[in-house]
């Protein structure tokens, strides 16, 4: 846990950003896999963790903005529970660690909220993404579950997003710890990914590394020789010489901060000429995009810059023709780069996505572009010092998409379909790093993970 004062200050600031009423933050419950006593590994809600720091199930926090009081609602373990789960500090002792002086059994939460409702006070709560918490809100606030999404507090969402978006020194250190774990995962994968090895052996080893460091994966590992599928979670392929595997993976630090790193690995230890050419284009796009990251720059323009780089590289290879700027205007890049260049990262790998992507990545004036490809860009707004973002360009040859565009004669003036046809068996290349926006520019966070063609080949043939 961070020092007590960190949590006190975070809540104090939040209180000043909401006009009046109660701020009601629900922690998570255990989530059963196949029966109640057999749960998935517990993951606390990230906003609850940010403001209250307590990493246990069954808690709720209430901040009274007008009275300037705070209370954690939860229950101490019964002796019956201690028999199975061992002793735990009392709730009031846990609360002391985060500077909350008031705690109360969860049975009292309903009364507190009801009293506020009867007085006509506002109760601010965030969007919910778990069914059990949705039902809790339905019961506690008498709002039908289906209505809950329409009753969330925009004022609270905006306040939480503003605060969590700017990472403090201690948060950046945590993210770097998570990247150190990703370094071990990535370099282990480079060593292990050899002909005759199943993808799942590598994915399993990487998950083991994440767990051994006291955290967990920050998202389900994408490790696949079919890297053209952007989020490929299937790990059943046997790898063979000539394949390349996209390894998009990351871990959480013990305090829950994420890393998210992608490398593309040659299974035989060396890239073919064709693979090198595509890799070099993606590498150059990433390098130029990272270089463009600085305060005041709109990330949608960095996405555009990366798209230009990709298309101009593909033009040199003969896959794209015509003026590359006009080609990108026409959306040609989305035949090869169907997703966004990056996203915010913090306690969530797609930071705060559960609060609403547009609150996190866009503003009232910088709106999401609804066009294919552009609409998957999670972050478009101006960058600020303290943002932690990913920069992850890629080139993906998706046979079904190529067939469709070709049949529709889409962007025919810019795409050399005969040349593109030959890449339908290529797969994909993605390179991703985690970047801190600093006052003067940017810093690539964490230890250097092999990234150039030579570095990746060397690490992969070790």
Which residues in this chain contact Mn ion in the complex, by CB under 5 A?
260, 390
DSSP per position, 410-462:
TTTTTB-HHHHHTTTT--EEE-BEEEEE-SSSEEE-SSPP--SHHHHHHHH--
Nearer to ligand GLY, 171 or 248 (CB): 248
DSSP per position, 177-195:
HHHHHHHHHHHHHHHH--T
Indicate the pairing of strand 102-104 with strand 69-73. parallel
- Which of the residues 47 through 106 are near ligand GLY (CB under 6 A)? none
Cβ within 8 Å of residue 131, ≥6 positions away:
none
Nearer to ligand GLY, 174 or 260 (CB): 260
Strands of the 442-444 sheet, one edge to the other: 388-391, 433-437, 442-444
Least distance in Å: CB of 79 to Mn ion? 45
Least distance in Å: CB of 33 to ligand GLY? 23
- In the three-class reduction of DSSP (H, G, I as helix; E, B as strand; rest coil), residue 73 is classed as strand
Least distance in Å: CB of 163 to Mn ion? 22
Least distance in Å: CB of 429 to Mn ion? 15
For position 299 contacting ligand GLY by CB under 6 A, the verdict is no
Cβ neighbours of 166 (radius 10 Å)? 14
CB 33 within 8 A of CB 40: yes
Binding mask 258-297 for ligand GLY (x = CB under 6 A): --x-------------------------------------
219 binds, among Mn ion, ligand GLY, none (CB under 5 to 8 A by kind): ligand GLY
Residues contacting ligand GLY: total by CB under 6 A:
3
For position 219 contacting ligand GLY by CB under 6 A, the verdict is yes
Considering only 199, 248, 351, 433, the residue that binds ligand GLY (CB under 6 A) is 248
Nearer to ligand GLY, 125 or 219 (CB): 219
For position 337 contacting ligand GLY by CB under 6 A, the verdict is no
Nearer to Mn ion, 252 or 260 (CB): 260
Nearer to ligand GLY, 113 or 389 (CB): 389
Residue 198 CA to its chain's centroid (Å): 26
Main-chain phi, psi angles of 5, to 5 degrees = -65, -30
CB 160 within 8 A of CB 355: yes
Least distance in Å: CB of 260 to ligand GLY? 5
Nearer to ligand GLY, 62 or 388 (CB): 388
| Measured distance CA(333)–CA(314) in Å, rounded | 9
CB 381 within 8 A of CB 299: yes
228 binds, among ligand GLY, Mn ion, none (CB under 5 to 8 A by kind): none
- In the three-class reduction of DSSP (H, G, I as helix; E, B as strand; rest coil), residue 74 is classed as coil
Least distance in Å: CB of 194 to ligand GLY? 24
Least distance in Å: CB of 307 to ligand GLY? 17
- Contact residues for ligand GLY, defined by CB under 6 A: 219, 248, 260
């Amino acid at each position: 846990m961070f020092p007590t004062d960190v949590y006190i200050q975070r809540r104090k600031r939040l209180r000043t950003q909401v006009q009046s009423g109660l701020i009601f933050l629900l922690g998570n419950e255990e989530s059963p896999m196949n029966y109640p006593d057999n749960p998935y590994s517990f993951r606390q809600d990230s906003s609850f963790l940010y403001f209250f720091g307590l990493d246990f199930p069954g808690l709720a926090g209430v901040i009274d903005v007008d009275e300037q009081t705070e209370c954690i609602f939860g229950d101490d373990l019964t002796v019956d529970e201690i028999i199975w789960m061992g002793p735990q500090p009392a709730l009031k002792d846990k609360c002391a660690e985060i500077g909350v002086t008031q705690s109360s059994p969860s049975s009292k939460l309903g009364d507190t909220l009801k009293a506020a409702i009867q007085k006509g006070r506002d109760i601010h709560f965030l969007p919910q993404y778990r069914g059990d918490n949705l039902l809790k809100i339905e019961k506690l606030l008498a709002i039908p579950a289906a209505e809950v999404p329409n009753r969330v507090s925009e004022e609270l969402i905006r306040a939480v997003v503003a605060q969590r978006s700017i990472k403090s020194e201690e948060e950046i250190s945590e993210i770097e710890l998570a990247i150190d774990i990703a370094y071990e995962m990535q370099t282990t994968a480079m060593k292990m990914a050899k002909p005759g090895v199943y993808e799942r052996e590598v994915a399993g080893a990487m998950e083991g590394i994440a767990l051994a460091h006291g955290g967990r994966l920050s998202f389900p590992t994408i490790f696949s020789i079919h890297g053209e599928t952007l989020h490929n979670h299937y790990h059943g392929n046997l790898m063979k010489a000539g394949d390349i595997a996209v390894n998009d993976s990351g871990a959480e630090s013990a305090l829950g901060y994420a890393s998210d790193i992608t490398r593309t690995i040659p299974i035989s230890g060396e890239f073919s000429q064709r693979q090198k050419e595509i890799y070099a284009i993606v590498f150059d796009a990433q390098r130029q995009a990272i270089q463009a990251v600085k305060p005041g720059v709109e990330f949608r323009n960095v996405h555009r810059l990366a798209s230009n780089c990709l298309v101009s590289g593909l033009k040199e290879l003969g896959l794209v023709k015509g003026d590359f700027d006009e080609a990108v205007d026409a959306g040609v890049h989305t035949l090869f780069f169907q997703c966004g260049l990056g996203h915010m990262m913090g306690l969530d790998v797609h930071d705060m996505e559960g609060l609403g992507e547009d609150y996190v990545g866009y503003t009232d004036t910088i709106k999401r572009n609804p066009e294919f490809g552009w609409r998957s860009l999670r972050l478009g707004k101006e960058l600020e010092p303290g943002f932690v973002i990913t920069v992850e360009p890629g080139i993906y040859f998706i046979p079904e998409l190529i067939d469709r565009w070709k049949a529709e004669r889409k962007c025919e003036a810019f795409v050399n379909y005969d040349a593109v046809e030959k890449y339908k068996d290529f797969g994909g290349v993605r390179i991703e790093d985690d970047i801190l926006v600093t006052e003067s520019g940017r810093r690539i966070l964490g230890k250097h993970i092999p990234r150039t063609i030579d570095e990746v080949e060397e690490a992969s043939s070790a």
